Amino acid sequence: MRLSYIAHWALAVSTSLIASPVSATTTDNDDDFQLRQLTDDNFKSNTAQGLWLIEHFSPKCGHCRAFAPTWTQLAKDKQHLERLTGFHMAQVNCLAQGDLCNSNGIKFYPQLILYIDGVPQPHYSGDRSHADLSAYIDEHSSTYSQEAMKDAEENAEGAGSRFANPVGKIAEVDELGLEALRSSGPVLTEFFAPWCGHCKRLRPIYEQLADAMKGKLNIAAVDCEDHKAFCRSVGIQGYPTIRMFHHATSTEYTGPRSLEKLSEFASKAIKVTALHSIRANDFEDVVKQNEALFLYLQNFDTTVAEQRSVKAALEPLIGSVPAYTSSDPQLYKRLSISNPPPTSVLLAFSSYSTRPVGSLPFPASQQDVNRFVQLHRFPTLVELTGANHAEFMKGDAKAIVVLGALHKGQDGTKEREQLGEIARAWKRGGRRFDQPVWFVWVDGEKWSGWLKQSYGIRKKELPAVVVIDPPNNEYYDTTIEGNKISFDGASTFSVLEGFYQHFLKPKRIETTLEWGSRSAAMTLISLGQTSVEHPFAALIILIGAVAIFVFLLQRCVGRDLKEAGITSRLD
């Protein structure tokens, strides 16, 4: 029973690739629709906020009667803009509200005037056709909403950065000192050792960086000789290591250690809270330029608290993944978001596709927003390299990693496409874990030694896949049904489901040192048995075996460190 459910669930996830984030609907009801009427009593209070296009008319006016069907249809068609952009349409009957019309300078009927936050604009003088008025409304409502979003974002900005690094100096800190700095914003931190030659050469550049970031960003340093336990706890394996800390996450800097490049990296942290406003005609170019991105679609009812929640979740990415925002009605339409929009929505895009791989409607808890951002912070499928190995396997997100080992060349390209399809299916319909699930691939021939030693994957088994639990140094390669995991969606999802349900027994990831120790132990046991009959020969063999093991371990450790991308930091 349970197995059939798992198979059905995996198949459903595999075929969910065409799902839209929010279906397109309409809520207009012609029978209930009524034109909004304003009077002297409610005119100022209504038009004081938002956009209001007001028709001043007289029932006796022939032009007004002729225009009435067009106005009524426009009001129906644009009703959804009230929540989306703050745009409203209303009428003033000048026969009944003569004083109001006179005070507004109405000279003829029908006269159309646009009020922006209570301020009247020059009256509309274009053609009164549905198409021309519709274009006029869309242009002004889009511009107004973009400006309103920008103002709200500026007002919502915290004051933390104004108090960062007040004297332009490096803050020498311990664990508690670093936590204190992190509570007020991002912190660029160098982990160093006093005897490290690379650290000594970096220090003058790092001091110049601290001066350049005066009043903008905290620059800190941790002496790992004085704080060895702390440095071990955060996974420091070489010196100098430079990381950007913010909230509960960190991003390691792996680029050139020049002042220019370090300043670029630091500047991204300062600008990370910015949600860049875009319109519908910008969308295609934005997607083409970014392998992964977030798009926060807001409406006129979006609260400052909600904006802060989204920014707090995006800040830890330290500029590595761009984030955009919009309330352009055409973009809502382009993405098939319902009309009128029921809520704001945060969308994730990946692999240069204009179709989102994930959506989160609001209201949503901060925990849900954080989880959504962590899940989609990387493209759908990423190549695992020495440069990003630590971030995937030792990062603060404590993610589950689905690793695909692929062939080289054309076969590998096809396998990568297949793994990408599996990853997209999981993102759109997979079970929601407490931690993110990331899909990565490696060149199975180039990484063959590491794959065989760590996960038991041999070259002849390519393409292969394995589910890794890095925080516990464990992995899974058996499905709920008890079969060896195979390179397909149903098998992969079965292992993920088994992991989630705690049905499967994990295997231990064996490090180079553990492998060497186990092999050495087996050799010594064998030598012990041999030494009874041939003590002198056993002694010679033992000395040779120890020398060989030391040599091999040095080579293997060096290779593992190189694959993890940390060789360049070791003195």
Query: How many H helices and E strands in the chain?
Result: 20, 20
3-state SS, 158-221, equals CCHHHHCCCCCCCEECCHHHHHHHHCCCCEEEEEECCCCHHHHHHHHHHHHHHHHCCCCCEEEE
Residue 187 lies in a domain: yes
pTM assigned to the model: 0.59
Say how far residue 445 (Cα) sits from the centre of its chain.
Answer: 31
Assess whether 388 and 502 both reside in one domain: yes
Identify the domain containing residue 524 by its residue range: 512-569
Q: Give the residues across from 197 on adjacent strands.
A: none
Given 271, 301, 333, which residue is the final one in a domain? 271
Assess whether 143 and 192 both reside in one domain: no
Residue 358 lies in a domain: yes
Given 122, 156, 190, which residue is the final one in a domain? 156
Residue 6 lies in a domain: no
Strand order in the sheet with 276-277: 276-277, 323-326, 292-297, 345-350, 358-361
Residue 88 lies in a domain: yes
> Pairing mode, if any, of strands 382-383 and 437-443?
parallel
Which tokens hold the place of 128? 């009164």
Assess whether 241 and 149 both reside in one domain: no
Assess whether 254 and 342 both reside in one domain: no
Assess whether 504 and 413 both reside in one domain: yes
Assess whether 296 and 310 both reside in one domain: yes
Assess whether 165 and 218 both reside in one domain: yes
Assess whether 499 and 548 both reside in one domain: no
Domain CATH for 177: 3.40.30.10
Residue 211 lies in a domain: yes
Residue 244 lies in a domain: yes
Assess whether 501 and 400 both reside in one domain: yes
Residue 438 lies in a domain: yes
Provide the domain count of the chain.
Answer: 5
Which tokens hold the place of 278? 């875009």
Given 98, 125, 156, which residue is the final one in a domain? 156
Assess whether 388 and 450 both reside in one domain: yes
Assess whether 196 and 294 both reside in one domain: no
Look-up of token digits 């000594």: 200
Helical residues (DSSP H) of 396-534, grouped into ranges: 409-429, 448-455, 489-501, 512-531
Look-up of token digits 């511009």: 143
Q: Residue 139 and residue 276: Cα distance in Å, rounded? A: 19
Show pLDDT as tens, one digit a residue, over the chain (571 residues).
333 333 333 433 333 333 333 333 334 445 567 899 999 999 999 998 889 999 999 999 999 999 999 999 999 988 878 877 888 999 999 999 999 999 999 989 999 999 999 999 999 999 999 999 999 998 898 788 777 766 655 554 443 444 688 889 999 999 888 988 887 778 999 999 999 999 999 999 999 999 999 888 899 999 999 999 999 888 888 899 999 887 666 778 888 889 999 998 888 766 655 577 888 888 999 999 888 899 999 887 788 788 888 888 887 776 678 888 888 878 888 887 765 555 789 999 988 888 888 888 888 899 889 888 888 888 888 888 876 777 788 777 788 999 999 998 888 899 999 998 998 888 777 777 778 888 999 998 888 888 888 898 998 999 999 999 988 889 999 999 999 999 998 999 999 998 888 889 999 886 544 445 444 545 544 545 555 555 666 566 667 666 666 665 555 545 444 444 434 333 3
The CA-atom distances, in angstroms, between 140 and each of 86, 87, 135, 390 are 11, 9, 9, 48
Tally of CB atoms within 10 A around 190: 24
Residue 95 lies in a domain: yes
Assess whether 211 and 226 both reside in one domain: yes
